[in-house]
Structure 1
Amino acid sequence: MQSIQEILLTIRSVKLTDLDSWRERLVVWVAAMTAGFIVVMFAKAAEYATSFFFSLQKTSWWLPLVVTPAGGMLIVWITNRWFLGAGGSGIPQTIAALQDKGSRSEHPKLIGLKLAFGKIFLGVGALAAGFSSGREGPSVQVAASVMHAFRRFLPSGFSVHPKHLILAGGAAGISAAFNTPLAGIVFAIEELGRHFEQKTNGVIITAIVLSGLVSMSLEGNYTYFGHITVGKIDKDIIAPIIVCGLVCGVLGGIFSRTLIESSTRMNGKLGVFRALHPLWWAGFCGVLVALLGAISDGAAHGSGYIFTQNILNGTNTSTWQYAPIKYLATIFTYLSGVPGGIFAPSLSIGAGIGNDMLPLFGHYHAATAISVLCMAGFLAAVTQAPLTSFIIVMEMIDGHEMVISLMAISLIAAIISRIFSTPLYSTLADKQISSITNDNQKPQTNME
């Protein structure tokens, strides 16, 4: 049993009586709850924007042919004029901010409240215009910006580096966006912070817990796609894991390589046109997305949430064309330069690939499991973050019975993807850092 002196020493070591330490904790708690609240509001605004676009499309099939390109041009113009650094999902910008050599840099071109506002406003606008994007990736930069902004309220001698607020905010953003707290922690370790320090644990976990509590209090304790019944999982799933892992690995690797290659100057006449006329280029990409939407009854637009849910629930009426159409629409959206993420579209593409591969496994009765496997496999191939991919899918469908299967296909797909592409987010983050270090070069606006 501890003596009185030992107990008092323990209390002093954890700073339970230190007012500055309590102020430090309070600032972090308020920052995390604020970030969670803003991410939830972002999600609600994105839902309204998506509903608005689809209601517009139902009014007249040709309206997207006008709204999408015009909206893309306006969004890119606003981004280039006032919100440089807000393009794409913001995950590379967040990673770049963490890798910045400046020990206490303000990261004005990567992280900030102005960029967070622009990300939300323009990201919602991109969905309202009908582009194929998601709000989950942008939530990383938004939450990281919000938490980092609270550093000014910390007492002097703060025990955790301000950059750790960026790391914690990014993790909280993923957690609150998908309501997947475990995936938020793994995402922080695997993707955002390659060097995970013990003293950062408390900040990250606290941010995820508090942002998650705010999310649950506003939207309830839900799973992103609801509880999905996948049926019996046995040895028959081994063949689908291998085949789907190979297919998703190849397609995801090519997808990732395309985004990376297009982040630099394109060759040929199209490259010259894109460099000289970014607004017209955004309009051209918008036309392509609108045309894909016209021939697919709207499947090319939005994050793909509704179509994915229909596939998982067995009420899907889409043809085999859904996956390739969503695949191309997401690439064209990225090329346009509008802010928007690829997390949700990648999950949707994966579900479509799984739906198309069902005839190959006609003997296998757990048909929904094939789509779930491909969701994790394609996301892992695109991001080359297999741990985050399988955990996020597992939490999104409440599918703990598939944990081994999801883990296996994510690892296979990520390994195959490396044949075709370098890691997407870290590569784009390196490009972001290179562009910022050159004083004469503006930050790229189509970073995903």
Structure 2
Amino acid sequence: MKGEPDFLQNLRTEMGDGRQWLDRVIVIVYAVLTGLAVVVFTLLADAAFGLYQGLRSTAWWAPLIWTPLLTAAVVWSIRRWAPGAGGSGVPQVLVALAPETPESARHRFVSLRLSLAKIAAVTGGLLAGLSIGRQGPSVQIAAGVMLHARRWLSPRSDISTRELLVAGGAAGIAAAFNTPLGGIVFAIEELSRRLQDRSSGLMLAAIVVAGLVAVSAFGNLSYFGRIRADGVSWWDLMWPGFLVALSAGLLGGLLSRLLLASFMGLPDRFCAYRRKRPVAFAALCGFGVAVIAIITGGEAVGVGHHHTHALLHNPDFDQQLPLVFTGLKFIASWLSAWTGVPGGMFGPSLSIGAGVGADIAWLLDSPHGPALIALGMCGFLAAVTQTPITAMIIVMEMTDGHSMVLSLMACALVSSLVSRMISRPLYSTTALLMMRSLREASVGPAVPGTPPGQTPQDSAPR
């Protein structure tokens, strides 16, 4: 029959092009390097926050001096030497992926140099004791490493710059969460929204390889703990789960809106002072975070996975101060983002969401604390990022119990829907503002609220 594939001819064509296979090997090698970069970043970030906790335990008042000073130093350094390393990292990758972004301007948002600067800046932020995450920055770091492969590929290679950026950014999520499936879903839902047929298999392989490197380094573990919810049906969680989804959607949408408002620069005295004296403003925000750290004994700063771990192993952990952790972690994360120190919102969102679930379990005296904590994590992450499928996959891979799958999916969709009624999508809106500033930089004034000489990525929300 005409049109049927010729196996032998296709095999000769596939195996006969040695340069094509070399290009594939280069991509896989860079996928390994991407995974290793995220592993090193993770170790540095954890070590930095460990040093901060040691300092805080030695002298309870030390954060009041240490946090503002180091926060100001990080902001000053980033603004002076690497403005493209500011912000979360996800919007920068989205800008680099945009077809309207000139090839010559891509290095301002994603490059190997910016990846190294990002690692140093986020590590400095965690050493300062800010409430920031490392998962969002891992997207920009990994994309910068993977994009570096472009210089070694054949000029006639079918592997495009766009595909390298998508694979790198998704590999960052896969390695940061030890969830290769989560990275693939993130690539489709947030970064690409489509995959090219010609090399999608190779790009998916690169994402999986980067994730497996992290699994090999740290084992098949979750930084936020394992969620044991066997025997819990969707019927048991219907009413309390809806309350968790609604609360997470409202709070997550509010946080997203606050971050966007802070980034765009409102006509108030706080934003005016930040535009005039960004380093001093960062120090003041750092002082506020330090006060919260002292009040909570260090629980409401950092990524937040230690507190989430404690909640999952002992749902009564926060009953001594119900609602307090969630509120203070929310404020600390907003202030940390407002400083301008690079950092992500994935980790803090999961931590705040765990607090929401634990608070609802306490208010309703529910026996299903771990399940409600899982729903809170999923719902709040979906609300802040407005990527419900990615949020569901990430939390699902932490959960021991297939009965939770439908509940997690429903919670993510409801929370994301509620968030969309309150706030525009955080990452895509930030990326649009960055692209607008990029266009206006050569013909006119920058985006309203952006100080002279400062690009939007300097202050991009997490």
Q: TM-score, normalised by structure 2?
A: 0.92
Question: Helix, strand or coil: the match of 1:108?
Answer: helix
**Partner residue in 1 for 2:459:** 446
Deviation above 6 Å: which 4+ runs of structure 1?
Answer: none
Gaps of 5+ in 1: none
Alpha-carbon deviations, 1:302-341, whole Å to 9, x = none? 0001001101111663322100000000000000000110
Distance in 2 between residues matched to 1:415 and 1:194, nearest whole Å: 19
**Partner residue in 2 for 1:182:** 181
1:252 aligns with 2:255: no
**Partner residue in 2 for 1:84:** 83
Mapping for residues 109-120 of structure 1, pairs under 5 Å:
109-120=108-119
**Partner residue in 2 for 1:9:** 9
The residue type equivalent to 1:443 in the other structure is T
Distance in 1 between residues matched to 2:138 and 2:203, nearest whole Å: 16
- CA shift for structure 1 position 359: 2.9
The residue type equivalent to 2:51 in the other structure is F
Mapping for residues 30-429 of structure 1, pairs under 5 Å:
30-102=29-101, 104-105=103-104, 107-234=106-233, 235-314=235-314, 317-318=317-318, 319-320=321-322, 321-362=324-365, 364-429=366-431
Question: Helix, strand or coil: the match of 1:33?
Answer: helix
Mean CA deviation greater in 378-387 or 312-321: 312-321
- CA shift for structure 1 position 425: 0.6
Cα 1:399–1:96 shift into 2, 3 Å:
farther
Cα 1:399–1:164 shift into 2, 3 Å:
farther
Gaps of 5+ in 2: 447-453
Distance in 1 between residues matched to 2:400 and 2:19, nearest whole Å: 41
Question: Helix, strand or coil: the match of 1:133?
Answer: coil
Cα 1:183–1:424 shift into 2, 3 Å:
same
The residue type equivalent to 2:20 in the other structure is S
Distance in 2 between residues matched to 1:327 and 1:189, nearest whole Å: 29
Cα 1:240–1:105 shift into 2, 3 Å:
farther
The residue type equivalent to 2:413 in the other structure is L
Cα 1:162–1:63 shift into 2, 3 Å:
same
Question: Helix, strand or coil: the match of 1:416?
Answer: helix
The residue type equivalent to 1:154 in the other structure is L
Alpha-carbon deviations, 1:23-76, whole Å to 9, x = none? 110110111100000000100111101110001000111100111110110000
Distance in 1 between residues matched to 2:101 and 2:72, nearest whole Å: 35
Alpha-carbon deviations, 1:118-154, whole Å to 9, x = none? 1000100000000000111100000000000110000
Contact 1:180 1:396 (8 Å CA) reproduced: no
Contact 1:96 1:429 (8 Å CA) reproduced: yes
Distance in 2 between residues matched to 1:396 and 1:343, nearest whole Å: 15
Cα 1:433–1:398 shift into 2, 3 Å:
farther
Contact 2:358 2:372 (8 Å CA) reproduced: yes
Question: Helix, strand or coil: the match of 1:420?
Answer: coil
Alpha-carbon deviations, 1:77-127, whole Å to 9, x = none? 000001111112200101111114247446121001111011000100000
Mean CA deviation greater in 163-172 or 228-237: 228-237
Question: Helix, strand or coil: the match of 2:130?
Answer: coil
Aligned residue pairs total: 443
Distance in 2 between residues matched to 1:398 and 1:338, nearest whole Å: 35
Contact 1:109 1:443 (8 Å CA) reproduced: no
Contact 2:158 2:199 (8 Å CA) reproduced: no
- CA shift for structure 1 position 203: 3.1
The CA RMSD measured in Å over matched residues stands at: 1.7
- CA shift for structure 1 position 361: 3.1
Cα 1:54–1:399 shift into 2, 3 Å:
farther
Contact 1:174 1:180 (8 Å CA) reproduced: yes
Distance in 2 between residues matched to 1:307 and 1:26, nearest whole Å: 41
